[in-house]
Amino acid sequence: MAAVISIANQKGGVGKTTLTMNLGFALADMGKRVLLVDIDPQFNLTFGLIGMRVLNHADRNVGTLMTRESEIDESLVRVRKNLDLIPSHLNLSAKEIEIINTYNRERRLEKALLPILPDYDYVLIDNPPSMGIFLVNSLTASDYVLIPLELSYFGVIGMQLMFNLMRMIREETNENLKLLGLVPNKFTKQTKVPKLRLKELKETYPDAPILTTIPRAIALEKAQSEGKSIFEFDGKSRAAKAFLKLAKEVVEVVEG
């Protein structure tokens, strides 16, 4: 049965999509069966993985799955060995109002994913940078939350918003939701600030596991713009090594 992990942060540009993609590839390379779910109306993950083929999925994507206009099997795309995708689509934002007005609106994704959970080891959900119905669906369907963040002042204090939302989800729809950990991203040794912020992060949230730090690397940006994982782009880079280490850490926590 798959472990379902939401990659979430209400802040944009912190590395959610980068983390989802590269963690997905790392786990697939380790022989795990991985399903990526793109629930961000900006469909960056989908575009990175299947490019213009996203246009073929107007009537079979994560949104139509949630409104029951498509079945799970027809909404799946095989990306490569061990790696499948449920794509987002440009019409996803229009589905938001429809979903808000349906019965059991917080559980639309959870229910849609249920039949295929036995087919995977990991389901990774890439989330939009907002706290709306898509993120609520994602957290309700998840066993774990993985939070990438930048080590900036607002990056650190912004964690409180995520923790508040997680508490609400635990009270209302999913009492089993666990924090897998925080992933400090875009780390640089060029100034002292990130290191100080890391210390601050540990002091402010002593109960939150802090996982492998991902370095700031141009290679990640270039890889993303070419729709490649860091392993395909430059498998020997520090960023690739960091993601591999993170994947092992995730497996260790989830599989024990």
Binding site for ligand ADP (CB under 6 A): 12-18, 44, 129, 185-186, 214, 216-217, 220-221, 224
Number of residues lying near Mg ion (CB under 5 A): 3
Shorter beta-carbon distance to Mg ion: residue 17 or 61 = 17
Between residue 42 and residue 81, which ones bind Mg ion under the rule CB under 5 A?
A: 44
| Cβ at position 40, least distance to Mg ion in Å | 5
- Residues from 141 through 200 that contact Mg ion (CB under 5 A): none
Minimum CB–partner distance for residue 56 and ligand ADP (Å): 23
Q: Does 16 bind Mg ion (CB under 5 A)?
A: yes
Among 17, 138, 212, 224, binds Mg ion (CB under 5 A): 17
Give the integer Cα–Cα distance in Å for 239 and 217. 7
Q: Answer yes or no whether residue 10 interacts with Mg ion by CB under 5 A.
A: no
- Cβ proximity to Mg ion, 49 vs 121, nearer residue: 49
Residue 224 within binding range of Mg ion, rule CB under 5 A: no
CB of 44 to Mg ion, least distance (A): 5
Question: In the complex with ligand ADP, which residue's Cβ is closer, 16 or 57?
Answer: 16
Separation between Cα atoms, residue 125 and residue 21, nearest integer Å = 10
Among ligand ADP, Mg ion, none, the one that 186 touches (CB under a kind-dependent 5 to 8 A) is: ligand ADP
Give the interface with Mg ion as residue ranges (CB under 5 A): 16-17, 44
